Amino acid sequence: MKRRAYISVYNKSGLADFVQNLVNKFNYEIIASHDTYEYLKKSDVIVTDINECISDGSLLSGDLAIFNERLLAGIVKSGSEEYSPQQLENLAVKTFDMVVVNLPQIKSNDFKNINIDEYIENIDAAGVALLQIAAKNYKNITVITDKIDYYVALNANEFGRLKLASKAMSVISEYNRYLSDKISENTGEKLYKIFNFEKIKNLDCGENSHQSAAIYKNEQMIDYEVLFDKELSYNNIINITEVVNIVSEFYDVNAVAVVKHSEPCGVALGRSLYEAYTKAFDCDPLSCFSGTFGFSKPVDYEIAKHINSMAVEVIVAPDFDEKAIELLQENPEIKLVKLNTELSEYRKLVTEEIIVTPFGTLIQDKNSSELKKDLFEVVTSTKPTVEQIEDAVFAWKIAKYAKTNSVVIARDFKTNAISQGSTNTLQAVEAALNYACDGSKEAVLASDDVISAEDSIYAAAQGRISVIIQPGGSIKDQKIVELCNKYNIAMITTGIKNYRH
């Protein structure tokens, strides 16, 4: 007796060869949905249109979508008989040995601007129902949802069919998630937040060696490649994310950032990329060892030569020139990550941040704060120069990526000190000034939180800071401004706090 396969696919790549193999080598009878039937007929495959197929009791005659909609409704009437979903499921099990269904990509731009009724019209209720039935009955039915499984599935044992069934259920879940999101958009509220990530691979370990970890695919991911077939660790991925977050703020200029343990330790801009690199390195040379380096422009041989002389975890850049690659390839400790996504597009990819806690899952918008003209205000009688304002904006952007409380001291587009993780702003100010030493002279000081302690201004004056940029909004604002005027320190308030825990 011939085995029977039902096929209904939107992505028809590789389908004709696979079906020819089913027919010629495995003696399958092929039944297909109408559009798949038309495609296979053109490829000279022996196939039957489902609309012409009559199974036991003629239950499968007529339009398959109508059949499945009735199945989902819970009951089908045929003549004087009524068929329960269980009876219909049993019929499907007896009818098909294989179900090949891939669902339409409803998340694509094809459906972006259509109204909700058109959107719902495109829901493949039949495909979802058949996948669910096939997956539930994996012992008797092989279910395929992806062309990469075509030939794996042919010789699958029971455990192999169970893995394919699990994949089918995940596909259904992902499909329903997008349907839910789209329909929720039209109701004005989202009562449920559904995530369905596809595993890319297991990682060697998590943050520590005793923690297991894996990486999963996001809906929107950066296009990148790791050169020399090296593997990124959990900590590598955390660090390259942070360093690219920073350099993407300066995507149109020569920018270099260094991150250690997910915290920035040196950032600079330069007339050349090499100048930016040396300035960033000079901020905290000790922390640069075993750090992660991010570049806004392609890395050349001169930079590679300097980096190759020390311990470095990862270098991430839009590209590397050939001589740089040749040199760095000789270093077994360094991993190179090439960004294929433009840095100008990178910042649009992540829109939400998720933290899972025992008290509930927290979801917030990504911090995409920008300085706004209506909030940006010089509040002192001492006015900053144009160059000082540019340095202030630069330092403010770095403070946004440092851990709260953070203070950044910078001059000439170079961080001279980054203080972060302090429990109060005064402590952060003093720590940054202590590290900067003479580097604080005529520099700018940026704080992610409100400066309300008078001692912070006394410390800044002693360090000969010329400009302070901070959110403002303290009940002590007037006193703070008076002190700044007394010591000829210009102060800019932004109205924006950039807490980062």
Q: Which pLDDT tens digit goes with each residue over 382-426?
A: 999 999 999 999 999 999 999 999 999 999 999 999 999 999 999
- How many CB atoms sit inside 10 A of residue 342's CB? 12
Distance (Å, whole) CA 79 – CA 58: 11
pTM of the model: 0.78
Cβ 476 vs Cβ 452: under 8 Å: yes
Distance (Å, whole) CA 501 – CA 12: 47
Considering only 26-30, 79-83, 184-188, 189-193, which range has the smallest mean pLDDT? Answer: 79-83
CA angle 97, 98, 104 (to 5 degrees): 150
- Eight-state DSSP code of residue 320: B
CA angle 107, 109, 112 (to 5 degrees): 80
pLDDT-based confidence at residue 121 (cuts at 50, 70, 90): confident
Of these ranges, 27-31, 152-156, 270-274, the one predicted with the greatest mean pLDDT is 270-274
CA angle 240, 246, 250 (to 5 degrees): 130
Is 60 exceeded by the pLDDT of residue 108? no
pLDDT tens digits for range 454-466? 999 999 999 999 9
Give the per-residue pLDDT at 126: 75
What one-letter code names the amino acid at 83? Y
Q: Please list the residues that pair with 201 across neighbouring strands.
A: 215
Distance (Å, whole) CA 290 – CA 282: 15
Domains and CATH numbers, the chain: 3-185 (3.40.50.1380), 215-344 (3.40.140.20), 377-493 (3.40.140.20)
Give the per-residue pLDDT at 63: 38
Give the per-residue pLDDT at 79: 39
* Secondary element (H or E) of residue 175: helix 158-185
Q: Among candidates 382, 386, 374, 413, which has minimal Cα distance to 397?
A: 413
Give the per-residue pLDDT at 348: 84
Distance (Å, whole) CA 86 – CA 138: 16
pLDDT tens digits for range 287-318? 999 999 999 999 999 999 999 999 999 999 99
